[in-house]
Amino acid sequence: MEASDALANIRCDDVKGSSRSVLEDSFNQLLVANRQTLTRLVSCFANSRPDREDLLQDIAIALWRALPQFRGECAQKTFLYRIAHNRCIAFLARNRSLMTRNIDECEVQDHSLTAEIELSQREQRDHLRSAIRRLPITYRQVLLLVLEGLSYAEISEVLGIPESNVGVRLNRARQLLKDHFRSQK
C-alpha cells in the first residue's frame, strides 16, 4: 500500500485545522513506520491478498480522515492501532464468510533458509494464523496487539477496555490456543 494511493481518493477539503503538508507528513510517517505491523495485523483478519490490500487501503483512508482530530492524548501508534482494529472489525462484519476460507500461502520468504526449513516454518505460521483467526474477536485483538509488542496500558487505550481486562482476555486467548494445539496432536 502506498500512501499516495490512499491520498488519491481523498478530497482536499476533508482536511480541517492543520495544513495539508503537515498532515501528509504525519500520515506518511505513520504508514511507513508501521507498514509491517499493519500488514501482519490485516493478515489475521483477511485471507486473500486482494482483501488484505483493500483492508490496508481502508485503514489508510480512515487514518487520513481521523488525523486532523488527533489530540495527542495517546501515542500516534496507539491512535493508528485503534483505527486499524476498528477497520478490521468492520471488515469482518462485512465479510463474515472470510473466517472460514482457506489460508493463502505466506508471501514473505527468507531465501537464506533451506526449502525444507522454509516449508516447515510456513506451515507453522499458517497453522498459528489459522488458530488465531478462529479465536473470538475479543481475544484475537488482545493477542495480536501483544504480539506487536504493545503494553497492557497501550492495549487498554487501543481497545477502550480496562487494563485488568487485557490480562484476562490474553490468558483466555492463550488457553484457547493451547487447547487447539493439544487437540491437533
Domain harbouring 137, CATH code: 1.10.10.10
Instruction: Please count the CA atoms within 13 angstroms of the CA of 143 that sit on its side-chain side.
Output: 22
pLDDT at residue 113, rounded to an integer: 55
Burial group, residue 82, by CB count within 10 angstroms (0-12, 13-18, 19+): middle
Residue 59's pLDDT band (cuts 50, 70, 90) = very high
Q: How do residues 21-36 score in pLDDT, each as one tens digit?
A: 888 888 999 899 999 9
Q: Which three cell numbers stand for residue 79?
A: 491512535
The domain total for the chain is 2
Residue 59: its H or E element? helix 49-66
Q: Which of 59, 74, 101 is the last residue in one of the domains?
A: 101
Q: How do residues 148-170 score in pLDDT, each as one tens digit?
A: 888 999 999 989 999 999 999 99
Q: Which three cell numbers stand for residue 139?
A: 481475544
Same domain? For 75 and 159 the reply is: no
Q: Which three cell numbers stand for residue 1?
A: 500500500
Same domain? For 97 and 151 the reply is: no
Residue 116 has pLDDT above 90, yes or no: no
Q: Are 68 and 15 in contact, with CB atoms under 8 Å apart? A: yes
pLDDT (mean) for 57-71? 90
What global pTM score does this model have?
Answer: 0.62
pLDDT at residue 55, rounded to an integer: 93
Q: What is the rounded distance in angstroms from the CA atom of residue 9 to the CA atom of residue 64? A: 11
Same domain? For 90 and 135 the reply is: no
Dihedral in degrees, nearest 10, Cα atoms 61, 70, 149, 171: -90
Residue 118's pLDDT band (cuts 50, 70, 90) = confident
In a domain, 107, yes or no: no
Percent of all residues in the chain with a pLDDT value above 70, rounded to a whole number: 81
Domain, as residue range, for 42: 1-101
The owner of cell 487447547 is: 179
Q: Which three cell numbers stand for residue 81?
A: 492501532
Same domain? For 182 and 140 the reply is: yes
Q: How far is CA 126 from CA 9, 16, 139, in A?
A: 33, 43, 18
In a domain, 94, yes or no: yes
pLDDT (mean) for 55-59? 94
